[in-house]
């Protein structure tokens, strides 16, 4: 009897030789019979990305060599360029602000403010010469003295008038010139608008807003009030001179009506003219000091920004040099060395120059404008006192004989003005051509940094 699975001829049946054939689902199990060839890659396997390449270094952990190096290099370059832009931008702002302040206050408004500071003293000097003329009268024996006093009175009057006009122009420039009205620019259009408004009130132009108290007492308004008050003083002074000449009194024996006219002119000058002149001068000086102080603060802030930005730029340049040396096995990059050296030089130059500008702007006010104003106030008080002393000499020819010519001592004021001019010259010399070199240097350094790193970036393309 034959055994199961063996044919009568003694050969094994196919079912017995393949055990898997008897198991259910063997045809669908996917198993590859032994000795059969492995199937080729499928379509899904072809679409999968290759595994990253491992860079194995003896004694070190494997790391990926991929886009991280390029991104870090680009980040360092971007941070370096941004720090350079910050440093050189702050340097440009600081030097530009300092130059503008020096040009404005030092060369334009500053000298005019110094001249305006002398306006109260010039007005008081005119009154001092008027007191001498009234005291001398029309005495033939003192004709030479009277002639000299009259010439000095006229000269001081012309000087005061010129300073008065300059103070008005300075006030207008400081506050800004108002927009011209339609009537001033186009009288015909203004007449047409007026006719239309007369026929139909709805067509009337919108009136300008009423001036506020601040506008009414601004520097320009004060200058106009001063001009009006000075015109009134000239009328009173002319009346006193006319009465003195008509009275034909000897020197020192001033009649009561002449003395009253002289006292009215002196009172008007002290109570109306001089306070307005001092206010106009003080406003101009205070405005210049405030603007110069604001410029000084801006330069000091820009100096700090230059120091911080330059430190960041130097730090990123050094980090970029170290990064390239480690990753690309270069000892150094000549382009980055040049950029680092130039940045360091401009950092030192910029910080030094802006430190000098801060000191210059401080000296312009502390050693220039402020002492000039203080000295002008002292000279004005001395001049008023001289006029009062002359008025007190009434009482006869003997008293008139003790009249001394009015003398002014401008040495201290001239020293303060010279200190102001020296500060302005020092500021101009410190800046020099730095304003032109800043953008050129910034662009050149940025180009050098990019050029120095471009070959390393090209290795990954």
Integer Cα distance of 260 and 279 in angstroms: 28
Is residue 22 pLDDT above 50, yes or no?
A: no
Four-residue CA torsion sign, 184, 187, 193, 195:
positive
What is the pLDDT, as a whole number, of residue 62?
Answer: 43
pLDDT at 267 over 90: yes
Kindly report the three-state secondary structure assignment for every residue of the chain. Answer: CCCCCECCCCCECHHHHCHHHHCCCHHHCCCCCCCCCCCCCCHHHHHCCCCCCEECCCCCCCEECCHHHHHHHHHHHHHHHHHHHHHHHHHHHHHHHHHHHHHHHHHHHHHHHHHHHCHHHHHHHHHHHHHHHHHHCCCHHHHHHHHHHHHHHHHHHHHHHHHHHHHHHHHHHHHCCCCCCHHHHCHHHHHHHHHHHHHCHHHCCCCCCCCCHHHHCCHHHHHHHHHHHHHHHHHHHHHHHHHHHHHCCCCCCCCHHHHHHHHHHHHHHHHHHHHHHHHHHHHHHHHHHHHHHHHHHHHHHHHHHHHHHHHHHHHHHHHHHHHHHHHCCCCCCHHHHHHHHHHHHHHHHHHHHHHHHHHHHHHHHHHHHHHHHHHHHHHHHHHHHHHHHHHCCCCCHHHHHCCCCCCCCCHHHHHHHHHHHHHHHHHHHHHCCHHHHHHHHHHHHHHHHHHHHHHHHHCCC
Contact 125, 322 (CB under 8 A): no
Residue 411 or 38, more confident: 411
Q: What value does the mean pLDDT of the chain take?
A: 73
The more confidently predicted of residues 437 and 372 is 372
- Partners of 43 in the beta sheet? none
Q: Read off the pLDDT of residues 387-413 as tens digits, 9 standing for 90 and up.
A: 888 888 876 554 555 566 566 677 777
β 54-55/63-64 pair status: antiparallel
Backbone angles phi, psi at 6, to 5 degrees: -120, 130
208: confidence class by pLDDT, cuts 50, 70, 90: very low
Give the tens place of pLDDT for each residue, 82-124.
887 887 787 778 788 877 878 877 777 788 888 888 899 999 9
pLDDT of the residue at 206: 52
pLDDT-wise least confident of 121-135, 203-217, 304-318: 203-217
pLDDT of res. 212? 40
Give mean pLDDT, residues 191-203: 51
Look at 45-49, 151-155, 171-175 and tell me which has the smallest mean pLDDT: 45-49
Split at pLDDT 50, 70, 90, the class of 355 is confident
pLDDT of the residue at 368? 84
């Amino acid at each position: 009897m034959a055994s199961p699975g063996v044919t009568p001829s003694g050969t094994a049946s196919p079912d017995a030789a393949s055990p898997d054939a008897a198991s259910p689902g063997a045809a669908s199990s996917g198993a590859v019979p032994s000795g059969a060839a492995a199937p080729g890659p499928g379509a899904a396997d072809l679409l999968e990305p290759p595994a990253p390449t491992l860079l194995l270094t003896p004694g070190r952990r494997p790391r990926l060599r991929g886009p991280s190096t390029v991104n870090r290099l680009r980040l360092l370059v971007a941070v370096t360029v941004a720090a350079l832009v910050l440093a050189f931008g702050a340097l440009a702002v600081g030097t530009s602000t300092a130059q503008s302040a020096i040009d404005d206050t030092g060369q334009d408004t500053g000298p005019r403010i110094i001249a305006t500071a002398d306006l109260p003293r010039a007005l008081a000097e005119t009154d001092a010469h008027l007191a001498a003329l009234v005291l001398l009268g029309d005495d033939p024996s003192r004709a030479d003295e009277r002639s000299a006093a009259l010439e000095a009175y006229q000269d001081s009057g012309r000087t005061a008038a010129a300073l008065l006009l300059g103070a008005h122009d300075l006030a207008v420039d400081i506050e800004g010139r108002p927009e011209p009205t339609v009537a001033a620019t186009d009288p015909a259009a203004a007449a047409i608008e007026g006719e239309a408004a007369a026929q139909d009130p709805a067509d009337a132009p919108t009136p300008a807003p009423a001036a506020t108290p601040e506008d009414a007492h601004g520097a320009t308004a004060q200058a106009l009030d001063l001009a009006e008050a000075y015109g009134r003083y000239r009328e009173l002074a002319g009346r006193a001179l006319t009465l003195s000449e008509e009275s034909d009194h000897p020197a020192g024996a001033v009649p009561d009506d002449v003395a009253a006219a002289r006292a009215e002119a002196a009172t008007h000058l002290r109570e109306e003219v001089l306070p307005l002149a001092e206010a106009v001068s003080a406003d101009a000086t205070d405005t210049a000091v405030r603007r110069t102080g604001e410029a000084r603060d801006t330069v000091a802030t820009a100096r700090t920004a230059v120091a911080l930005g330059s430190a960041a730029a130097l730090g990123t340049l050094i980090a970029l040099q170290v990064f390239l040396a480690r990753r690309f096995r270069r000892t150094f990059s000549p382009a980055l060395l040049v950029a680092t050296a130039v940045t360091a030089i401009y950092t030192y130059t910029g910080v030094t120059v802006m430190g000098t500008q801060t000191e210059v702007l401080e000296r312009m006010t502390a050693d220039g404008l402020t002492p000039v104003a203080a000295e002008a106030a002292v000279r004005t008080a001395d001049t008023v006192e001289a006029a009062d002393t002359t008025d007190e000499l009434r009482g006869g020819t003997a008293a008139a004989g003790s009249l001394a010519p009015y003398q002014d001592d401008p040495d201290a004021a001239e020293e303060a003005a010279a200190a102001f001019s020296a500060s302005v010259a020092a500021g101009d010399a410190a800046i020099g051509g730095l304003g032109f070199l800043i953008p050129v240097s910034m662009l050149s350094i940025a180009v050098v940094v990019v050029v120095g790193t471009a070959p390393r970036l090209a290795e990954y393309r």
